Amino acid sequence: MLLECVEVSKKFGGIQALRKVNLVVKEGEITGLVGPNGSGKTTLLSCINGIHKIDSGRILLNGEEISNLPIHRLNAKGIVKTTQLVQSFPELTALENVLVGAYFGRGRKKDSAYSSEKAKKLLEFAGISQDKFDRPVKNCNIAELRRIQLAKALATEPRLLLLDELLTGLNPTECEKAISLVREVKGLGITILMVEHIMKIIMGLCDRVSVLHHGEMIAEGTPKEIMNNESVVKIYLGKKYLLRE
């Protein structure tokens, strides 16, 4: 396994956001994290990448405890997260945004020419045309911003990529392209933990799925097993998703 969360708990004031959550992410796989709104999905990702400190439990990367390390140290170890609301440097160009990841990530290099070439290749990989490399990102649409955000994350040379609703705000055509892109990212040997509400995407992309409800892990298994889990169907999916042999 690459990542392991052991009885992770997190509280915000009187709200118990996570309660003794156990999660395993195997190296080279795509793991889906699903559940109703407010179930703790984004909170768990934010605890893994250091945005929030956990109150109790342990988070391990390749057996090494990384609980409550600051974001920059986790980034250097190969953990990077994208956000639901795209965060960028709006006045900087697409290329400059990706260079931030190249300069400060796990594989950072002092050679600016190397970093620039690396950033250009990642923008192309993410589907950004060369004529948009030098465009300030404040002039980009949401699909382009999400692709640039992904390229910036990849520029850090992650071992574990945390995707928080990457497809939010995209139309069906853009979603299909994004799904193909996630498959290509996996093909690079990068392990992925992704939060997503669209079950068609979870079924088509994920090797395993974990389900959160009110901050507790209620089910884990293959996508097919999750679709047939009566508790998950009742709490989250609804009968239309029930699969039978």
Residue 240 in this model has a pLDDT that exceeds 80? no
Backbone angles phi, psi at 159, to 5 degrees: -95, -35
| pLDDT number for residue 107 | 61
User: Residue 190 in contact with residue 15, Cβ under 8 Å?
Assistant: no
Residue 147: C-alpha distances to residues 34, 87, 107, 171 (Å): 22, 12, 20, 14
- Strands 30-34 and 15-25, by their bridges, are unpaired
Residue 203: C-alpha distances to residues 32, 116, 187, 241 (Å): 9, 36, 18, 11
pLDDT in tens, 161-197: 999 988 777 788 888 888 899 999 999 999 999 998 8
CB under 8 Å to 69, separation ≥6 — which residues? 50, 77
pLDDT-derived band at 228, boundaries 50, 70, 90: confident
pTM over 0.85: yes
- Of 1-10, 52-61, 106-115, which range is least confident? 106-115
Domains in the chain, ordered, with CATH? 1-78+159-245 (3.40.50.300), 90-157 (no CATH)
What is the distance between the alpha carbons of residues 182 and 135, in angstroms, rounded to a whole number? 24
| pLDDT number for residue 16 | 97
| Mean pLDDT for all residues in the chain | 90
Residue 72: C-alpha distances to residues 17, 121, 170, 187 (Å): 24, 24, 30, 26
Residue 122 in this model has a pLDDT that exceeds 70? yes
Closest by CA position to 201, among listed 219, 221, 216, 180: 180
Residue 57 in this model has a pLDDT that exceeds 80? yes
| pLDDT number for residue 127 | 93
Percent share of the chain, pLDDT over 70: 95
